[in-house]
């Protein structure tokens, strides 16, 4: 599993990092973010890119697991 630690980053940086991981094709991909806005931005981008997204809330942070549909 590839991991993208995007905690502390703002848009568009975290979305660009997640997109690069998708383009590299190393599924599943875990994306770590630290805000609801970041979670939603990554989720929308991943779904548009053809990925399924599972969200796990970990306190104030989120782990998004991206897999190919």
**How many domains, in total, are found in the chain?**
1
pLDDT at residue 21 in the model: 97
* CA atoms of 49 and 68, how far apart (whole Å): 9
CATH code where residue 33 lies: 3.30.110.40
**Lookup: tokens for 29:** 């991909």
pLDDT at residue 26 in the model: 86
* CA atoms of 14 and 28, how far apart (whole Å): 17
* CA atoms of 28 and 30, how far apart (whole Å): 7
Digits of tens for pLDDT over the chain (69 positions)? 999 999 999 889 999 999 999 999 989 999 999 999 999 999 999 999 999 999 999 999 999 999 998
Q: What is the pTM of this model?
A: 0.95
Quote the domain boundaries for residue 36.
2-68
């Amino acid at each position: 599993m590839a991991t993208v630690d995007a905690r502390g980053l703002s848009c568009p940086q975290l979305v660009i990092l997640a997109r690069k991981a998708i383009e590299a094709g190393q599924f599943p991909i875990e994306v770590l973010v630290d805000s609801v806005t970041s979670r939603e931005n990554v989720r929308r981008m991943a779904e548009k890119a053809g990925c399924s997204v599972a969200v796990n809330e970990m306190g104030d942070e989120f782990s998004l697991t991206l897999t190919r549909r």
